[in-house]
Chains A and B, each alone.
Chain A
Amino acid sequence: MIHNNCLQITDKGLKDWLAKIIAGGKQLYAPVREGDKTAFKWLDSVAEISMEHIQTTQSAKAVAFPRAEKLFSYQKEKGAVTLQDYNPDNLSETVIFGLHPCDAAGFRPLGSIFNWDTPDKPYNERRKRMTLITVSCTKSDEFCFCTSVNGGPGNTEGSDILLTPLKKDYLVEIITEKGQKLVEAYQSCFDTPPENSDKEACLAKVPVRFSPEEVSRKLSGMFESKVWETQSERCLGCGACAFVCPACACFDIQENSKGNSGDRLRCWDSCGFSLFTLHTSGHNPRSTQSQRWRQRLMHKFSYMPDRLSVIGCTGCGRCSRACPVDMNIAEHLADIG
């Protein structure tokens, strides 16, 4: 019997459970330590999993929105063209383990963009095959700001199951039906929870840096502000912030052709690049880095809340950790809000 949709699992039970999930035929994507960094990998063995990190280099976004994805294929033969439509049949059922609540929350803005009026089949087919076993954060660093964007270190949004490391063992919160199924199939791995598992006491303390409503309200009148120039003076336009972001969805459509056949691909792109908006005529509506920095902040904290009722940021802090010139988005937003 599952009480209040909460269970408990030991460290050993957790490893058994994940091993059984792999043995059951699902693909497991989980954090693995590589030198001083931790990255998500597709794993055959649970022994490689590492949970010592504050944040993985990349989020788990690529499982639903790969860096390069085939949208369809074409073949040209004697003037005739045949198309092979996107085929989801070979996509695997995947379990993502060990992502933090900020990464699980990232699938909400992604889903909002990819389903705005016209559903995006490649994204949705991958997303519906994913089950997210998120792990709450017990530690954070100066770059974390989830609590400033309606998130939190023990937030359940986007997750199917949330594990919170207690003093000993993990608290298991079952959030969705998908999560329920994954627990029920391997129920022997779990224990009933103790009467008073104090989840809150085990979570990281992430200070609130700004109010997203206040930032959004102010941004709506700041298009012409000088702040974009001063904030972006040192921006190199490298696009690293977009590539590590769990909520960035901007993409390019490119051709990968070989002789008479090929694929049309969707590839990650960034609003930070000058080529992103360049017209063939040479005209560029966002020709300066400050205009592109404005677009990045406005899109996430003003346009998306306005048009899609979701903030395009989950406070994971990766953009600031990855920035080669130490631009810190939370500081810039705190200055505005």
Chain B
Amino acid sequence: MTDYNIYLPYLVAIEKITEEAPGVKTFRLKFKNDEDARRFSFKAGQFAEYSVFGEGECTFCIASSPTRDGYVECTFREAGKVTSALAKLEEGETMGFRGPFGNTFPLDAWKGKNLLFIAGGIALPPMRCVIWNVLDTRENFKDVSILYGAKSVADLVYKDELKAWDERPDVKLVTTVDPGGETPDWKGAIGFVPSVLEKMNPSAENTIAIVCGPPVMIKFTFPVLDKLGFKPEQIYTTLENRMKCGVGKCGRCNVGKMYVCKDGPVFSRVALEALPAEY
């Protein structure tokens, strides 16, 4: 029997804060204790509990890639009590980190395939983890395409990285903003993700599509993927449900008999279709 307390967080220092978009920040976190840093490892797709002492914990994915050693990053939007407290923290301050939890993207099974990433809004962070993981082990994969959409130009996150991906010859990047969200100098597409995807017309042949975004985006993207010939086993997404413990005990996140914290957050569309509509 393990003797450690699963509720005790690691102490981490905020090494760097990046303002991504209005109300959206990225924290780069470093373990305060070298031993914690040495022992810690995670895989693309996993999530964690981030805590502000005196306020509580909140749940989001690890947004950095496991291929980048020595730190973890998270990107969050200021929305509730804890994320608002988190947003007030400054560089150098200490916070708590508990994880990693949940399952992972099956990157080993995707070797030798084309990867098509489709993300909307604040759902790029869970995908950024796997995108960098793929780009850092680029030789394992064939074509890599990224379609990313946000409400407006200002709402696009990871602007520097979008530029870096755009400049890479081995990545096809399409960014889009909702009609009316463009600026005069906007060079990307204008339109909602599903319709831009239809115009991109990617081949389903030997391709895995990873779709993360608000429920409405996913709802309209799946039929486009169907039309393009993607089978359910070629499509992956992540689910989020409210969580407290992260380890299958507190009773919040289950969708039918499946627990988002243990069986997810990554689900293939095959697994997703077997779930009741409880997410």
- A277 and B5 contacting across the interface, CB-CB below 8 Å: no
Does chain A have a CB within 8 A of B164? no
Alpha-carbon distance A276/B57, docked complex (angstroms): 15
Alpha-carbon distance A7/B155, docked complex (angstroms): 75
Interface of B is mostly: loop
Residues of A within 8 A of B257 (CB): 298, 302-303, 306-307
- A251 and B250 contacting across the interface, CB-CB below 8 Å: yes
Alpha-carbon distance A292/B122, docked complex (angstroms): 29
Interface string of B99-112 (1 = CB under 8 A from A): 00000000000000
Alpha-carbon distance A299/B278, docked complex (angstroms): 13
Does chain A have a CB within 8 A of B93? yes
Interface string of B213-249 (1 = CB under 8 A from A): 0010000000000000000000000001110110111
- B2 and A253 contacting across the interface, CB-CB below 8 Å: no
Interface of A is mostly: mixed
Does chain A have a CB within 8 A of B56? yes
Does chain A have a CB within 8 A of B186? no
Segment among B6-14, B22-30, B131-139, B188-196 that sits at the interface with chain A: B6-14
Alpha-carbon distance A49/B80, docked complex (angstroms): 48
- Shortest C-beta distance, B276 to chain A (Å), equals 5
Alpha-carbon distance A150/B258, docked complex (angstroms): 25
Selected contact of A120 from candidates B9, B57, B94, B249, CB within 8 Å: B249
Q: Most chain-B CB neighbours within 10 Å: which of A74, A271, A299?
A: A74
- B6 and A118 contacting across the interface, CB-CB below 8 Å: yes
Interface positions, chain B 21-76, Cβ under 8 Å from A, are: 51, 53-57
Q: A72-B8, A117-B248, A251-B251 known; A285 and B55 CB under 8 Å? A: no
Residues of A within 8 A of B92 (CB): 79
- B7 and A86 contacting across the interface, CB-CB below 8 Å: yes
Residues of A within 8 A of B6 (CB): 118-121
Interface positions, chain A 101-116, Cβ under 8 Å from B, are: 113-114, 116
- B249 and A81 contacting across the interface, CB-CB below 8 Å: no
Residues of A within 8 A of B1 (CB): 119, 124
A-B contact pairs, 19 of them (CB 8 A): A71-B7, A74-B54, A117-B248, A118-B2, A119-B2, A120-B6, A223-B256, A224-B276, A250-B250, A252-B244, A254-B56, A271-B251, A276-B242, A276-B251, A279-B242, A280-B80, A285-B279, A295-B254, A303-B257
A positions within 8 Å CB-CB of B: 71-72, 74, 76, 79-81, 83, 85-86, 113-114, 116-122, 124, 223-224, 249-255, 257, 262, 264, 266, 269, 271, 276-281, 283, 285-286, 291, 295, 298-299, 302-303, 306-307
B positions within 8 Å CB-CB of A: 1-9, 11, 51, 53-57, 79-80, 83, 92-96, 215, 240-242, 244-245, 247-252, 254-257, 262, 276, 278-279
